[in-house]
Structure 1
Amino acid sequence: MELFGFIECAKQTQSLSALFDLLVKCATEQGFTEVAYGALTYSEPLCQLKHPPPAVALNFPAQWCDRYFERKYHAMDPVVTRTPTISGPFLWDQLADRCQLHPSEQAVLDESREAGLKHGISVPLFGPWGQVSVVSFASQFDDADPLDRMSYLNALAWQFHIAVKEMAPPAQNGKPRVQLSRREADCLRWTAEGKSSWDIGMILNISENTVNFHIKNAMRKLGTTSRTVAVVSAIRLNLIELPGRPNAVMPI
């Protein structure tokens, strides 16, 4: 499923379970059948009640989940403890190279691999007021290639996360209605079409610096630090649309 296809399907979902099933379906198409979503620094208002915090939704093997939560592995799992310090998607296999892991942290990674969670990749998701969430993907297959699918899984995780936030009750969501100027909306729409700032400037007959100015303003209003996430947010809020391009592919 293309990324914009995920967005359109996500708009039709009415529950976290249905949205998570859609996420798992898309990840499975890429060879990553095991998926987990967690809220690391706050309580997510939407969650599958069978899982204790920080888990929000996951489909990891049942025996591994039972052992993980019974032994409180989340307190020593480097995928949980190290995520707030890492700015972008990372491979579990490379955590030992990036961080000086404690023996207990390495033990959790080793046990998870023995449980069938191979070639794991996690996507840190940073929100306002210090909120940190994470989506993790793993494969049951030895030949899965997380590096090859990292860009797609990164964008997919962000789209899922945004969809979850849009599904939250208004009283808990607490976000004012975002309004984009015409130029801001135009710049985001052309960004979604894969155009660079220089390209957009030529199309709109404005300077590249002006394009960057409008995109930064839109990102600020939408509470993101990424053009891709700003585009996803704007589409979900019906602030921009892509007429005549149902199969457009988001640049990632």
Structure 2
Amino acid sequence: MVIATAQHFGQAALAATTLNELNNLLHAITREMGFQYFALSHHVDMPRAPQPALRLHNYPRDWEAYYDAERFGPSDPVHRASHLTSTGFCWSMLPRLLALTNRDEDFLARSRRIGLIDGITIPAHVPGEAAGSCTFAVSWGNSPRPEWLPLLQFVGTTAFESARRLVGMRRTQADRPRLSDRQRDCLYWAAQGKSDWAIAKILGISHETAIQHLKEARGRYGVGNRTQLAIHAIFDGALSFTDALRR
């Protein structure tokens, strides 16, 4: 049943053509999994954030008004905790993931008073974009079912990626500049702080060739320096954060 539920949702989400259709799918599977609420969003101050910024939810409207008025998008403790893990977690794990402040405790107490008693949050991290997550919450008299966690992980990540596709945040392969293998090799070492001369020695090419490869890579992205080039390459998947940070 769990596998069939996941497959059905995944197929439907990939076929969705509007955010409203995806919203309805999330409503249905949230109930099927025994939850009452869902929230899919970027972790930004939504009313003031540059668009497109994702938010689909069925939380109480009063909570949305309070949440936005207090600008909790970037500081919500559940959001902050999701930045520290790549897998889903229960809200009961929050004290283990980060040190809760008095404001955090007040926030969580308020959420419980309006019926958001407990939940499971699935992080969504895409390089070059604001962090996000997909959350499923229960109301009074209910508790999350741990056996659904693998399904929630799949549903949350699939829903988030489908929402990104529907608002045009996901670039297609045709939209992305292509680096040659040698250009990427040079960029890999440049991102680790190597000079043009050092890159040439590592790769066994001439100094002038290393300079030319990086110049052409910058030209393909339309940027003027190595830092901007590395950021764009990470965003497009040509380079990973690990590549850039390894020393």
TM-score of the pair, normalised by structure 1 = 0.60
Q: 2:6 is matched with which residue? A: 3
Q: Is the 8 A contact 2:40 2:57 kept in 1?
A: yes
The residue correspondences of 1:44-59 to structure 2 (distance < 5 A) are: 45=52, 47=54, 56-59=55-58
Alignment-derived partner of residue 223 in structure 2? none
Deviation at 1:18, TM superposition (A): 1.3
Task: Tell which has more relative contact order, 1 or 2 (C-alpha 8 A, sep 6+).
Answer: 1
Residues 75 and 167 from structure 1, CA distance in 2 versus in 1: closer, same or farther, beyond 3 angstroms?
Answer: closer
| Distance apart, 1:81 and its partner CA | 2.5
Matches of 2:147 and 2:7 in 1, distance apart?
20
Contact 1:33 1:137 in 2 (8 A): yes
Counterpart in the other structure of 2:33: 30
* Structure 1 residues 72 and 128: alpha-carbon distance in aligned structure 2, compared to 1, 3 A threshold: closer
Q: Which residue of 1 aligns with 2:210?
A: none
**Runs in 1 of length 4+ with deviation above 4 angstroms?**
41-44
User: What per-residue deviation string (whole Å, max 9, x for no partner) do you get for residues 110-151 of structure 1?
Assistant: 110111012211111111336421111101242323422211
For the 8 Å contact 1:13–1:19, the answer to whether it is kept is yes
Correspondence for 1:197:
none
Change (3 A) 1:44 1:24: farther
Cα 1:44–1:82, aligned 2, differ >3 Å: closer, same or farther? farther
Counterpart CA distance in 2 for 1:5 and 1:152 is: 12
Number of the residue aligned with 1:150: 149
Q: Which position in structure 2 is the counterpart of 1:61?
A: 60
Percentage of matched positions with identical amino acids? 21
Whichever of the two has the greater Rg, that structure is 2
3-state SS of 1:32 partner: coil
Q: Which runs of 5+ in 1 are unaligned?
A: 48-55, 179-221, 224-252
Q: Separation in 2 of the partners of 1:88 and 1:44? A: 27
User: Following superposition of structure 1 onto structure 2, how do residues 182-221 of structure 1 map, counting pairs within 5 Å?
Assistant: none
RMSD: 2.6
Please list the CA deviations of residues 32-71 of structure 1 after superposition, one character each: whole Å capped at 9, or x if unmatched: 1211111126856364xxxxxxxx1111011222222222
Give the equivalent residue in structure 2 for 1:138.
137
Change (3 A) 1:103 1:67: same
Tell me, which stretches of 5 or more residues in structure 2 are unaligned?
176-235, 238-247
Larger deviation: 35-44 or 146-155? 35-44
Contact preservation (8 Å) 1:33, 1:139: yes
Q: 1:190 matched to which residue of 2?
A: none
Equivalent residues, number: 171
Q: Could you say what secondary structure the match of 2:104 adopts?
A: helix
Question: What is the match of residue 19 of structure 1?
Answer: 22
2:122 and 2:133 in contact (8 A); partners too: yes
User: Whole-Å Cα distance in 1 between the matches of residues 66 and 122 of structure 2?
Assistant: 23
Q: 1:13 to 1:46 in 2, by over 3 A?
A: farther
User: What are the equivalent positions in structure 2 for 1:66-77 lying under 5 Å apart?
Assistant: 66-77=65-76
Match in the other structure for 1:194? none
Decide whether the 8 Å contact of 1:11 with 1:163 is kept in 2. yes
How far has the Cα of 1:165 moved from its partner? 2.6
Q: TM-score, normalised by structure 2?
A: 0.61
